[in-house]
Chain A
Amino acid sequence: MSLVQLPMSDPGSPDLTSPRRFLRWLGRSQRRGRVLAVLWGVLHMGGQAAIPLFVGRGIQAAIDGDRSAVLAAGAGAFVLGAVQAAAATMLHRQTVWNWITAACQIRQLVARQASRLGAGLSDRIATGEVVAVSSGDVEKIGWFVEISARLWAAVAVWLGVSVVVLVRQPVLGLAVLLGVLVLAAAFWPLIGPFERRFDEQRSLGGKAGELAADTVAGLRVLRGIGGEELFLDRYREASQKVRAAAVRTARVWALMRAQQVLLPGAFVVGVTWYGAHLVVRGDLGVGDLVAVYGATAFLAGPLRVLGEAAHAWTAARVSAARAVRVLRLERASGTAAPAAPAESLPADRAARSDLHDPATGLTAPAGLLTAVVCGDPDAAGALAERLGGHAPRGRAAEGAPEAAAAGTAAGTADDADGGTGAAGGAVGAGTPAAPPAPSPPSARLGGVALDALPLAEARALVLVHDKEPVLLSGTLADLFAVPASGRVAPADALAAARADDVLDALVDGAPDAQGDPMRARITERGRSLSGGQRQRLALARSLVADPPVLVLDEPTSAVDAHTESRIADGLREVRKGRTTVVLATSPLLLDRADRVVLLQDGRVAATGTHRELMHTDPRYRSVVTREETADLQEETA
């Protein structure tokens, strides 16, 4: 059935100029499967349409008293029935396979896009929206792919039946040919209102679902402080709105169902009436009349396909537009533009080079542990980004993680249900990119601007361990399976990050790991661990990666003082001889640094060791010990 291996080794490069072209591109890449599906469909539907012929013959034979003809008709009906049934199964297999192929291809494309854009993606589009493409939208596009084969088969069979009848009874033939068209047209007026009401219902449903999920997600807060009734009332109101909208949709739907009974039925009555009239005139046999009745009654099936296809097409076009939007995103400017003449810096030279940030005047000497104290968290974050040659983060992106997380919840919920688009409601929280302000130049390593290096090379030389490193789900061994120098073993990194109790907690929570922490699973985003435990695992991971230059932004903010002081020793030990920059305010970390740099108002204000600065610089003392200036003066007096 399949020449193509799924998942594909290369999902190809789609035509993203418009949603329509994207759908056409998808269709082109599975041309053979589509042709096969249409052929099976013709065989199946044609067989179904032809069974009434045998029924008619059998009844005619019974009237005529022809025993062998009766048996032949019965046998013929059985064989034809068996053939159309086999074709039905094959049609099902082929259309579902086409569906899977399209879905697989889109999902692979989205996954590659997500990896390619990396940091650039979540800043510009909500996670929920990306996931929606890979779940609900894929379903809808797949539905269209599936139904289009059945549609073409139905059209072919309808034309075939018309021609057959036309040859024998021109008036009846014409009636079949045109009647189906008229009937199809009669369904159109209701499709629009139905779609509109259905969309409204879905969007209200999405909102109510989001409200419920949000209430439950914050339930610990509600249970701890109150307000349950307030939120229940709010949800009841939303839920009743959904109910009312669903009933409004059902009104149109019920009307459509009644119409689906009445109109094709009336068509059958009309054709049969005319046929009976022909029988009375002697132009048609009784058996033929039964055959005509059966065949016209059958045509109601293809008619339904037509209605369904119209529905699928509308949905698929919207979904394709969303897929195109996600697949069309490019890396934000400011990062290594591939067009720029790329420079190069070998790793061994990088390890011996100083890291310098022109914007602040900060220099981190090669092979030393430099701590940076910076009063303003935003400025510190921006400095960390620059030190790695990353594109500056949009300011609006500050609040994004939470929205993105909520989007994920809605998105994953949606997939599990088979994906009929509840995620649509959660979409739209995407943070638009901030207008590009003139950004300060990126840091220079050994005189080479990091953003002038090829992206992969820049990331390999400098690892920026940001404030919210994410633990990806998987086993602990998976967590440490990152490109690394091989110099630092996971066990050593874990010891340096003082993560022993984390290992115990992981093993405790995972009976199937059989006591081996490396086989214990970390749940999504490490939610089963405390903030401090997550931070230590993430730190261990960065230590294992062992880049020539490591930039750590507040790596221990959620760790208790006891442990933090031991981590500071471990960090120093593991990074010995490597260039390390720690942005921190805790004296326990600063005390272990070779050099401490104080930044104020975006420039270097003082440099020295922690102890020197504590004794000589009141500004430093105030930032680090968090005393108000008044206390400070009192104490020094």
Chain B
Amino acid sequence: MRPPADPAAQEREAATLLPVGSPATVRAYVRLLAARHRRSFAGVVGLHAVGAAAGLVGPWVLGSLVDGLDGGTTEARIAHAALWYLLALAVQAAFTGMSRLRGAVLGEQVLADLREDFLVRSVALPPGVLERAGTGDLVSRTTTDVDRLARSVRDAVPELAVAVVSVLLVLGALLVTSPLLAVTALVGLPVLLAGSRWYFRRAPQSYRAESASYAAVNTVLAETVDAGRTVEALRIGDDRVALTDERIRTWISWERYTMWLRTRYFPTVDLPYVLAVAATLGLGGLYTLQGWIGVGQLTSGVLYAQMLIEPVDLILRWYDELQVGQASLARLVGVREVADPGRDGSVRPDGRRVRADEVRFGYREGADVLHGISLAVEPGARLALVGPSGAGKSTLGRLLAGIHAPRTGRVTLGGAALADMPPERVRTHVALVNQEHHVFVGTLRDNLRLARPDADDAALRAALEAVDAGPWADALPEGLDTEVGSGGTALTPPQAQQLALARLVLADPHTLVLDEATSLLDPRAARHLERSLSRVLDGRTVIAIAHRLHTAHDADLIAVVEDGRITEYGSHPELVAAGGPYAALWRSWRDEG
């Protein structure tokens, strides 16, 4: 049977903007973890070893009992043996329980460290990386990979450690009972090794593909539900059902394939086990007849051979999961590999003048988006960037906000290059305001305080008042304590945008780059928002990327950007008088033409 097409391949291609940790990084990280928790881990394994060793007493007791019964024994000796057995059982139970608990405590500690560490690393990512990579990949790492790793750390690692210890102990017990029987029990080992080699060469990527194909069904479903209105209006409901069925078909073909893998693999696991029991019994019986071993040894040996199956099964079952966990860990530690462009803590702006000198920039090697842009904005002035979509306005805005560094040329604030300053300093001076106005899960207070953590309630209220958000904020059921964001009180898009503006009031940067902050809104709501916005802009330097011409009209200076170059530059009256493309557009807007 051949594996079906891999549904994960396509997604992988699209989502590799953030690095995935190299095997060396992952190993180094695991070593770091191991070193940090060495003692606790040794404790867990040690406790389990005591428990598992106590578990070996049973077959041994039965073996000696068989020896005794064979030679004639008394009720007192049987009772004696039973008490030993019970004692061993109590030890086994207690130590197994303790090792589980200690293992869980350790596992949860490691997990908490991992997920917290990952978030710490994520929130330190350079803004430029976030602008390019988006946050989708990062969100999926936060959720999917953290969950997968949790399964690995909670179950796979302890189960494997424990199972390996058990196998070693049982083999040891067999060896002590009779080296000859131990060798006999291992007669099927080559089959197991060959089978495992075959299986584990195919299994990991197949299970990844299976789980990706499983998830792909839900992606289609989520889209259908999300786009319910569009689906209904365009009458594509049947197509969506057909698409879901198609994805289900792919998923099932992967299920069939992995089932086929297991159908071939399971017998190669079971056969050595069956052989171990049958051989210790049959051949061991012959050894007894030869007088090489006693009946008691035979009994214990066969029972030990039977005990092998459980831990071997566990090892094979969890080995997969460990590999999945490893892949997730690689995606989590990959975030540590993001190169932080060397920023210099000592660079400080002197003044507020924004300048760009001969700036060239491209997202990819050899494909510049901006071709030699120069401009200057005086403190408190307003510059509007207008031009067709795809001309590079937003890119220019990001450079002026210090998010990307120019390939050649300089973008400076008060004479200091923005690209040389750490983002934490840049943002005290310049803020980029875009169409994204995320409302965080939490209280309204949390959502505001992020801009100024030491602000008191009076300051927060004042900020809300300043953007006309006072009335609806006061009307919320619990005021500033109201839970907003996903799952809480839903804010309307205009409210979310006012919230974003209130954050700006609190953060108080002297320069703002507006990348069509209101363009995704209904223009009729945007109008009301613009009043809020204009209060925020008061007294600040503003660089606005404008889709609407009235924004341009209000600016002190207008730069028309076309194909990564500034083609017209001047005040509104100057450009209208010049009679170029801007003037033509303006006339059509104002109905003067």
Residues B221 and A130 in contact, CB atoms below 8 Å apart: yes
Residues of B within 8 Å of A215, CB to CB, are: 119, 123, 440
Q: Can you report 13 A-B residue pairs in the complex whose CB atoms are below 8 A from each other? A: A73-B285, A134-B218, A215-B123, A224-B431, A225-B504, A226-B424, A226-B450, A234-B442, A402-B490, A412-B144, A530-B394, A560-B546, A563-B389
Closest to B252 in A: A6
Report yes or no: B62 in contact with A58, Cβ–Cβ below 8 A: no
Query: Is A424 located at the chain interface by the 8 A CB criterion?
Result: no
Interface residues of B in 429-466 (CB under 8 A from A): 431-432, 434-442, 446, 449-453
Question: Which 7 A-B pairs rank lowest in CB-CB distance, beginning with the nearest?
Answer: A74-B282, A227-B450, A399-B490, A118-B232, A413-B143, A250-B104, A258-B97
Q: Which residues of B contact A444 (CB under 8 A)?
A: none
Q: A358–B334 Cα gap in the complex (Å)?
A: 60
- In the bound complex, residues from chain A placing their C-beta under 8 Å from that of B225 are 114, 121-122, 127, 130-131, 404
The answer to whether A220 touches B222 (Cβ under 8 A) is no
Min C-beta distance of B544 to chain A, whole Å: 13
Q: Is B441's CB under 8 angstroms from A210's CB?
A: yes
- Residues of A within 8 A of B (CB-CB), count: 199
- A114 and B521 contact, CB distance less than 8 A: no
Say yes or no for A188: interface residue by CB 8 A criterion.
no
Contact A219 B125 (CB under 8 A): yes
Question: Within the complex, what minimum Cβ distance (angstroms) separates A379 from chain B?
Answer: 9
Please indicate the chain A residues that have their CB under 8 angstroms from the CB of B109 in the complex.
Answer: 243
- When C-beta atoms are compared, the residue in chain A nearest to B288 turns out to be A62
Question: Measured between alpha carbons, how far is A339 from B109 in the docked complex, in Å?
Answer: 60
User: What residues on A are CB-neighbors of B588 within 8 Å?
Assistant: 565, 587-588, 591
A111–B74 Cα distance when bound, in Å, is 71
Which of A122, A222, A276, A501 has a CB less than 8 Å from the CB of B226? A122
Q: Which among A144-152, A153-161, A166-174, A465-473 touches the partner chain?
A: A465-473
A55 and B100 contacting across the interface, CB-CB below 8 Å: no
Contact status A269-B86, CB under 8 Å: yes
A463-B234 CB under 8 A given contacts A376-B524, A413-B144, A614-B591 = yes
Most B CB atoms within 10 A — which of A51, A405, A561, A563?
A: A561
Instruction: Please judge, given known A-B contacts A227-B449, A415-B215, whether A74 and B281 are in contact too, CB under 8 Å.
Output: yes
Is the Cβ of B252 less than 8 Å from the Cβ of A587?
A: no
Let me know if A451 is at the binding interface, CB within 8 A: no
Interface members, chain B 317-344 (any A CB < 8 Å): none
Q: Cα distance A24–B74 when bound, in Å?
A: 56
Assuming the A-B contacts A482-B235, A505-B390, A626-B527, are A135 and B218 also in contact, with contact meaning beta carbons closer than 8 angstroms in the complex? yes
The reply to whether B82 and A290 contact each other, CB–CB distance below 8 Å, is no
Q: Quick check: A58 and B589 within 8 Å, CB to CB?
A: no
* Contacts A243-B112, A403-B487, A531-B435; A120 near B453 (Cβ below 8 A): no
Residue pair A459, B96 in contact (C-beta under 8 Å): no
**B438 touches which of A59, A218, A262, A610 (Cβ 8 Å):** A218
Q: Is B175 an interface residue (CB 8 A)?
A: no
A225 touches B427 (CB 8 A): yes
Nearest-neighbor residue (CB-CB) of B286 within chain A: A70
What 6 additional pairs, Cβ within 8 angstroms, besides A67-B289, A218-B440, A473-B223? A55-B281, A119-B231, A225-B507, A265-B93, A286-B69, A402-B439
Interface assignment of B92: CB less than 8 Å from any CB of chain A: yes
Given A115-B231, A554-B523, verify A89-B263 contact (CB < 8 Å).
Answer: yes
Give residues 418-461 of A contacting B (CB, 8 Å).
Answer: 418-420, 422, 426, 428-429, 431, 456, 459-460
Q: Which chain A residues border B575 with CB–CB below 8 Å?
A: none
B49 close to chain A: CB less than 8 A: no
Contact with A280, one of B73, B434, B503 (Cβ below 8 angstroms): B73
A255 to B122, CA, bound (A): 38
B267, CB-defined interface residue at 8 Å: yes
Compute how far the CA of A269 lies from the CA of B245 in the bound complex, rounded to whole angstroms: 54
- B123 x A119 contact (CB < 8 A): no
How far is the CB of A317 from the nearest CB of chain B, in Å? 22
- Distance in angstroms from A407 CB to nearest chain B CB is 7
A470 and B144 contact, Cβ closer than 8 Å, known pairs A269-B86, A418-B211, A456-B235: no
Contact A230 B66 (CB under 8 A): no
A235 interface contact, C-beta 8 A: yes
Q: Which residues of B contact A88 (CB under 8 A)?
A: 266, 270
Q: Give complex CA distance A516, B138 in Å.
A: 30
A546 to B533, CA, bound (A): 39
Contact call A6/B248, Cβ cutoff below 8 A = yes
Q: Are B440 and A290 in contact, CB atoms less than 8 angstroms apart?
A: no
Chain B residues whose C-beta falls within 8 Å of the C-beta of A112 in the assembled complex:
241
Judge whether A243 and B282 touch: CB under 8 Å. no
Task: Please tell me if the beta carbons of A96 and B259 are within 8 angstroms of each other in the complex.
Answer: yes
* B276 to A: closest C-beta gap in Å: 9
Answer yes or no: B262 CB below 8 A from chain A CBs. Answer: yes
Contacts of A131 in B (CB 8 A): 218, 221-222, 225
B113 to chain A, nearest CB (A): 9
Binds B, one of A178-186, A520-528, A573-581: A520-528
B439 proximity list for chain A (CB < 8 A): 218, 402
- Complex contacts, B134 vs chain A, CB 8 Å: 527-528
Residue of A255, A531, A557 near B523 (CB, 8 A) is A557
Residues of chain B within 8 A of A240, CB atoms compared: 112
Complex interface: chain A residues within 8 A of B101 (CB): 250-251, 254
Contacts A65-B289, A71-B282; is A557 near B504 (CB within 8 Å)?
no
Structural contact, A213 and B143, CB atoms closer than 8 A? yes
**Of A26-34, A79-87, A305-313, A340-348, the one touching chain B:** A79-87
Q: Does B376 contact A (CB under 8 A)?
A: no
Contacts of B85 in A (CB 8 A): 269, 272
B427 CB contacts on chain A under 8 angstroms: 223-226
Does A377 lie at the interface of the complex (its beta carbon under 8 Å from any beta carbon of B)? yes
Decide if B522 touches A250 in the complex (CB within 8 Å).
no
| Residues on B with beta carbons closer than 8 Å to the beta carbon of A625 | 550, 590
Query: Closest Cβ of chain A: how far from B349's Cβ, in Å?
Result: 18
B10 contacts A by Cβ under 8 Å = yes
Q: Is B227 interfacial (CB-CB < 8 Å)?
A: yes
Distance A468 CA – B51 CA, assembled complex (angstroms): 62
Minimum CB–CB distance from B234 to chain A (whole Å) comes to 5
Q: Is A35 an interface residue (CB 8 A)?
A: no
Contact B279 A74 (CB under 8 A): yes
Among A116, A473, A524, the one with the most B-chain Cβ atoms within 10 Å of its Cβ is A524
**Contacts of A463 on B, CB cut-off 8 Å?**
233-234
Cross-chain contact B147 with A231 (CB below 8 angstroms): no
The answer to whether the Cβ of B538 comes within 8 Å of any Cβ in the partner chain is no
Does A289 contact B69, Cβ atoms closer than 8 Å?
Answer: yes
**Across-interface contacts of A464 in B (CB, < 8 A):** 233
Determine which of A7, A404, A481, A530 lies in contact with B245 in the assembled complex, contact meaning CB atoms within 8 Å.
A7
